[in-house]
């Protein structure tokens, strides 16, 4: 298995997981919210804030898949590095609001670290070597010249 396969798998897992979390916040907001780590959650009209979190999470996953599917792996690495701010920020919010330290570090901190590692691996990827030789011989140079006869002197 190559590093490219590993980073692709990590990106797919991350994208799929955050879309699942987002859908959970949209379809079962109160149940899902209890696992976020904060001591209390909005009730009744406050459910709209949980839906906002769900939409944010789905959009995050879709960005990952869009960049992965279009082959923009370097951009995916930079996007995932930026996305690291979301779980890191969630961790800080949980900790600064008397939330569960275990959830803050175990869920949000771990997620931030996993996303940052995946971003780092993506950014370290090197383009695959081409199958064409890097130094072309005289025949290859002659055939690769422009069709303009004036340039072939």
- The pLDDT value recorded for residue 66 is 97
pLDDT digits (tens, 9 = 90+) for 60-104: 999 999 999 999 999 999 999 999 999 999 999 999 999 999 999
For 5-39, the pLDDT digits (tens) are 999 999 999 999 999 999 998 898 888 888 888 77
pTM, two decimals, is 0.74
Tell me, what's the pLDDT at 84?
96
pLDDT above 70 (res 135) = no
Q: Is the dihedral of CA 30, 34, 40, 41 positive or negative?
A: negative
Q: Please tell me the predicted confidence (pLDDT) of residue 38.
A: 79
Residue from 89, 54, 100, 74 nearest 11 by CA? 74
Helix (H/G/I), strand (E/B), else coil: 120: helix
């Amino acid at each position: 298995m190559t590093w490219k396969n590993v980073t692709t798998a990590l990106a797919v897992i991350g994208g799929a997981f955050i879309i699942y979390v987002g859908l959970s916040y949209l379809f079962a907001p109160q149940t899902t919210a209890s696992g976020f780590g904060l001591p209390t959650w909005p009730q009744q009209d406050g459910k709209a804030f949980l839906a906002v979190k769900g939409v944010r999470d789905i959009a995050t996953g879709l960005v990952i898949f869009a960049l992965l599917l279009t082959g923009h792996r370097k951009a995916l690495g930079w996007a995932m590095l930026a996305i690291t701010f979301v779980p890191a920020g969630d961790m800080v919010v949980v900790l600064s609001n008397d939330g569960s330290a275990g959830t803050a570090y175990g869920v949000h901190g771990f997620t931030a670290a996993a996303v940052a590692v995946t971003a780092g691996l993506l950014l370290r990827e090197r383009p695959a070597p081409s199958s064409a030789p890097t130094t072309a011989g005289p025949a290859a140079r002659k055939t690769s010249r422009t069709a303009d006869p004036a340039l072939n002197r």
